[in-house]
Structure 1
Amino acid sequence: MTANLLPWPEHPLAGDRVVLRRADERDVAMARSLSTDPYVPAIGSLPPDATPEQARAWIARQRDSRDRGAGYSFTIVDDQADAAVGNCGLWLRALSDGRATAGYALAPGHRGRGLAGDALRTLTAFAAELPGLHRVELYIEPWNSGSVQTAESAGYGREGLLRSHQWISGSRRDMLLYARIVK
């Protein structure tokens, strides 16, 4: 089955403290907040210090990710506050090999409360339901202890260090490989 044929979930995905839903107009402020973090624009398509129009364009790209065959992009909503706090995604470029890559980011001001871990666990449970998918991988820079903690809290195990693995902000970067077998 190709990635562009996988259905979008009928209902938002519910975790213990977060809900993962499809991005929409309500997410402009969250996207603009995410864009103020110097690292988030360096690793994704959200421009630094995004204008409202740039945030809307980014949201449109997140909404269309499944239709383009790239994977699923979800807005992370703090269930208690009913507020968008970040974004996570499941990227299916290697689905033919049974693998996917996940990513997550919380807007500044919403970090350190376990929301990213809950979002990653919820995303991983969704991944386990996708036909043909058996493994989800994370690539984390070694300095990013918050992301390492998030991965480990969601049951991902460290598999190794990939030297000079990814191009970020004009230089090759080492990446830790974390993975979880879902089937």
Structure 2
Amino acid sequence: MEQPLDVPELAASDGFTLRPWRMSDLQLVREASEDDYIPLITTVPSQYSESAGVAFVERQWGRATARAGYPFVIVSSGGRPVGNVGLWLRDLGQGRASLGYWVVKSARGQGAAVAALGAVAGWASRDLQIPRLELYVEPWNTASVRTAERVGFQREGLLRGWQQVGDERRDMFVYSLLNAEP
């Protein structure tokens, strides 16, 4: 049997750090569940309860155990958990992995997403030697577009009706970062 993935702690820019999920992160799950958008695009529960929060954290652990990917908590310089970034390995056999991220409303605009995405993308390219990293962003989400582009991801095109979000199929921009790029 293969060993679970070891989710490391990573230093990010601007004092942010990344670490594995802990049960002490339930307040982060609670705040994320109150967001209008995060539960639509993730497995964060839309109605928070302690059992739903515990199940969410356990799902993050399960992703590493199943070798599906690396889920990280984004932690501010003051030690407060403010979001999530994940590196997902479903297409690793084809030389690519995807990333996703979210930051709770109370911590937006402070550089957490850029710091976290940059740290994971750098680690995935440098240490894991993944040739191609991808992420998908809804065209209206200008903050996420800016985040991807600030980290160095390049927009490749529009995927029409690419992903189910809530009750509808939505278009997504596809972004990539190649290992050979700076």
Q: Residues 77 and 86 of structure 1 are in contact (CA less than 8 Å); yes or no, is this contact kept in structure 2?
A: yes
Show the 5 A alignment for 1:54-93: 54-78=52-76, 80-93=77-90
Q: Shift of residue 6 of structure 1?
A: 7.1
Q: Shift of residue 69 of structure 1?
A: 2.3
Q: Shift of residue 5 of structure 1?
A: 5.3
Match in the other structure for 2:128: 130
Q: Say which SS state the counterpart of residue 107 (structure 2) adopts.
A: coil
Match in the other structure for 2:162: 165
Q: Shift of residue 7 of structure 1?
A: 4.0
Q: Residues 91 and 102 of structure 1 are in contact (CA less than 8 Å); yes or no, is this contact kept in structure 2?
A: yes
CA distance in 2, matches of 1:53, 1:64: 16
TM-score (normalizing by structure 1): 0.92
Aligned letter for 1:41?
A: P
Percent identity of the aligned residues? Answer: 39
Q: Residues 102 and 137 of structure 1 are in contact (CA less than 8 Å); yes or no, is this contact kept in structure 2?
A: yes
Q: Residues 114 and 151 of structure 2 are in contact (CA less than 8 Å); yes or no, is this contact kept in structure 1?
A: yes
Question: Which has the larger helix fraction?
Answer: 2
**2:7 maps to 1:21:** no
Match in the other structure for 1:143: 140
Segments of 4+ in structure 1 off by > 3 A?
4-7
Match in the other structure for 1:35: 33
C-alpha distance after superposition, 1:113-158 (max 9, x if no partner): 1111000000111211214x21110100000011001111111111
CA distance in 1, matches of 2:23, 2:75: 13
TM-score (normalizing by structure 2): 0.92
**2:112 maps to 1:115:** yes
CA distance in 2, matches of 1:49, 1:86: 18
CA distance in 2, matches of 1:182, 1:74: 21
Q: After alignment, is 166-175 or 92-101 more displaced?
A: 166-175
CA distance in 1, matches of 2:58, 2:100: 18
Q: Say which SS state the counterpart of residue 156 (structure 2) adopts.
A: strand
Count of equivalent residues: 177
Specify every segment of 5 or more residues in structure 1 that has no aligned partner in the other structure, as ranges.
none
